[in-house]
Amino acid sequence: MARQISRTFQQSLMSEIDCDMLENNSTSEIVDLLNTSIVGLVIPSDFQGEKIAFKVSVDKVNFYSLQNNANEKIVIDAKSESVVSFGRDDFLAWKYLKIVSDMTQTADISIRLQTRAGG
């Protein structure tokens, strides 16, 4: 029984945020991470591109390319109708996010961010 309660509690910490990228753009609108941490992306079927990068900010004004500890820009493979998982701490330091595609979108799309509370 304790395992079931623990699983229910963990699921209650999960939520979803839509990240909109408008037609004729390759960068999303700003997303406020709302004290959460991104743990995954759900990429829609109408996504145009093969790669996604991230711009992050603490003040909603100055955005910087997200890099790893080796100062390399983080770029992930992103195909339409796919999902990507992240470690809970990967986005923990950042309050605002923009997603950047390697291609301009031909229609408005929403990339779903899977988040976990406590970020």
Which pLDDT score, from 0 to 100, does residue 11 have?
A: 53
pLDDT at 119: 52
Better-predicted residue by pLDDT, 116 or 30:
30
Tell how far CA 43 is from the center of its chain.
Answer: 10
Query: What is the domain extent for residue 31?
Result: 2-117
**Encoding tokens for residue 13?**
């910490």
Supply φ then ψ for residue 10, to 5 degrees: -60, -40
pTM: 0.84
Q: Which pLDDT does position 35 carry in this prediction?
A: 81
> Structurally, how many domains does the chain consist of?
1
Which CATH number characterizes residue 49's domain? 2.60.120
Q: Which of 34-38, 74-78, 108-112 has the lowest mean pLDDT?
A: 34-38
CA 20 to CA 110: how far, in whole Å? 4
Give the tens place of pLDDT for each residue, 1-48.
455 555 554 555 778 999 999 999 999 999 998 888 899 999 999 999
Instruction: Reduce the DSSP state of residue 15 to 3 states and report it.
Output: strand
Q: How many CB atoms lie within 10 A of CB 101?
A: 22
Average pLDDT for 60-78: 92
State yes or no: pLDDT of 100 exceeds 80: yes
Q: To the nearest 5 percent, what fractions of the chain are helix, strand and coil?
A: 10, 45, 45
